[in-house]
Structure 1
Amino acid sequence: MLLEVRSLDVQLGGLPILHDISLHVDSGEIVSVLGANGVGKTTLMRTLSGLYRPSRGEILFNDQPIQGRSAHAIVQAGLAQAPEGRQIFADMTVDENLVLGGIQQPAKVASTRTAMLDMFPVLRERRNQKAGTLSGGEQQMLCIARALMSHPRLLLLDEPSLGLAPQLVKRIFALVRDIRETGTTVLLVEQNARAALSISDRAYVMEHGKIVLQGSGAELADNERVREAYLGGSAA
């Protein structure tokens, strides 16, 4: 078990957002967290990344507690996030964004950057271009590549398909599979339930800050409640 979350509660501004969240991610898996906008998925990801602190519960990464650690320390431990909305450095070049992603492992920056440019060929073509001038899909690829520059054991992907055209969505989800094949475990937050379940070993469904369903990707894709709420209707 690479990541284990036990009975996690999170409050923001005194308001309860997450309630008794328990989940786990095994090494080598793709695990998705599904749910409508506003149910707490991004809060969960930011808490795992050290940006928010839980009011109760434990987060174990590689059998070590990480709740309360700084975001910097959590990246050093091997957990990195590609955040919702991309949050690239728009006024810096593609190359500069990648270098910043690998700042904690300076000896590996050159080789890792080469690997990222091989994985994302369009970034090689744009490497001297300001990141803010990239298309939405290219910015998402840069966001993911920047996170991978830190050599994470676990990559958190928060809404990677948001705002992208259907063909680019297919490309992004194919890349998620490729990333897993390179040995990086993936925890994916996604509103596009159909695409997420198609690549997920397991998944959790959140409603109102709680996990209400869990199972394999195939099980949840066939679940009547999931089909009605997220997949556009019941099975034929």
Structure 2
Amino acid sequence: MPLDGAQASNTATRRILEVRDLTVRMGPQEILRGVSLDVAEGAIVAVLGANGVGKTTLMRALSGIYRTTGGATVFDGQDMTDSPSHEVVRRGLAQAPEGRQIFGTMTVRENLLLGGRTLRHDRAARMERMLELFPRLRERLTQKAGSLSGGEQQMLCIARALMSKPRLLLLDEPSLGLAPMVVKQIFDLLVQIRGEGTSILLVEQNARAALRVADHAYVMEAGRVTLSGSAADLAADPRVRAAYLGG
């Protein structure tokens, strides 16, 4: 399996995100149990795992939707543990959530403008760049977002998050429910987005697609990180191959 992300790996070691011993409880249940991970600046980092292991909870905790009950998060050298969502976005972190969660009754243009609401200048120029990255959206600008295909909705979800010019993009299950050809197209775009200077933290059940573009990866089970390493190393690990890559 070719590892495009590993082949193009950025050698930078500066960490844009550091997560240390993050714990999240929902009532009596501990969903995250001391999760630690790093994202190097200019890298794509994948978090792999089956449904229900805590991947989405991790993303929501990082983006300020869920409060943590332990641990710390440092973004670009500053503690942002339990910062509210608007502050997280202002600092340069944006999320494209699981299930896309676009505004279906609004047009594609209106969705994009909402994503860029924190920009003080050049919102039109930023939208033009998104339409260059996602040309299908240009053809659908005045169309209601809810009438788009699943792949187009995912493109809009990512473009909306990128409108704020984030330094780190959180992507939650971007392959969910999409045809293999569309998944490849979207993951190829992630490499291009990384090449333009946006670091990416990606959570995925589709390990094959994620490891193809990632530089580094973590495996989560039952709310904990159980394996980590370069994408190439994890793709070759027999435990990962047996559990996620079909042997």
Q: TM-score with structure 1 length normalisation?
A: 0.98
Question: Which residue does the alignment assign to 1:11?
Answer: 25
In 1, the alpha carbon distance for the partners of 2:171 and 2:124 equals 24
Q: Choose the corresponding residue for 1:74, options 64, 88, 102.
A: 88
Verify: 1:227 aligned to 2:241, yes or no. yes
Report if the CA contact (8 A) 2:172-2:204 is conserved: yes
Between 1:63-72 and 1:208-217, the stretch displaced more is 63-72
Q: Choose the corresponding residue for 2:112, options 79, 83, 98.
A: 98
Q: Choose the corresponding residue for 1:107, options 108, 121, 129.
A: 121
Amino acid corresponding to residue 23 of structure 1 in structure 2: L
In 2, the alpha carbon distance for the partners of 1:22 and 1:141 equals 29
Aligned sequence identity (%): 63
In 2, the alpha carbon distance for the partners of 1:148 and 1:20 equals 29
Verify: 1:171 aligned to 2:178, yes or no. no
Verify: 1:211 aligned to 2:225, yes or no. yes
Report if the CA contact (8 A) 2:61-2:82 is conserved: no
- For residues 181-210 of structure 1, the C-alpha deviation after alignment (integer angstroms, 9 at most, x for no partner) is 111000000111011011111000000000
User: Following superposition, which runs of at least 4 residues in structure 1 exceed 3 angstroms of deviation?
Assistant: none
Aligned to 2:186, the other structure's residue is in SS state: helix
In 1, the alpha carbon distance for the partners of 2:183 and 2:132 equals 20
Q: Quote how far apart the aligned CAs of 1:67 are.
A: 1.1
- For residues 19-64 of structure 1, the C-alpha deviation after alignment (integer angstroms, 9 at most, x for no partner) is 0111000100000000000000000000000000110000000011
Structure number with the bigger relative contact order (C-alpha 8 A, sep ≥ 6) is: 2
Question: Which residue does the alignment assign to 1:192?
Answer: 206
- For these two proteins, the number of residue pairs brought into alignment is 233
**Where do 5+ consecutive residues of structure 1 fail to align?**
none
Verify: 1:35 aligned to 2:49, yes or no. yes
Amino acid corresponding to residue 134 of structure 2 in structure 1: F
Question: Which residue does the alignment assign to 1:183?
Answer: 197
Q: TM-score with structure 2 length normalisation?
A: 0.93
Amino acid corresponding to residue 155 of structure 1 in structure 2: L
In 2, the alpha carbon distance for the partners of 1:106 and 1:91 equals 26
Amino acid corresponding to residue 68 of structure 1 in structure 2: D
**Where do 5+ consecutive residues of structure 2 fail to align?**
1-14
Amino acid corresponding to residue 97 of structure 1 in structure 2: N
In 2, the alpha carbon distance for the partners of 1:76 and 1:14 equals 32
Amino acid corresponding to residue 206 of structure 1 in structure 2: M
Q: Choose the corresponding residue for 1:60, options 74, 86, 91.
A: 74
Q: Quote how far apart the aligned CAs of 1:162 are.
A: 0.4
Aligned to 1:19, the other structure's residue is in SS state: strand
Report if the CA contact (8 A) 1:102-1:108 is conserved: no
Q: Choose the corresponding residue for 1:136, options 150, 156, 160.
A: 150
Report if the CA contact (8 A) 2:44-2:199 is conserved: yes
Q: Quote how far apart the aligned CAs of 1:14 are.
A: 3.0
Aligned to 1:195, the other structure's residue is in SS state: helix
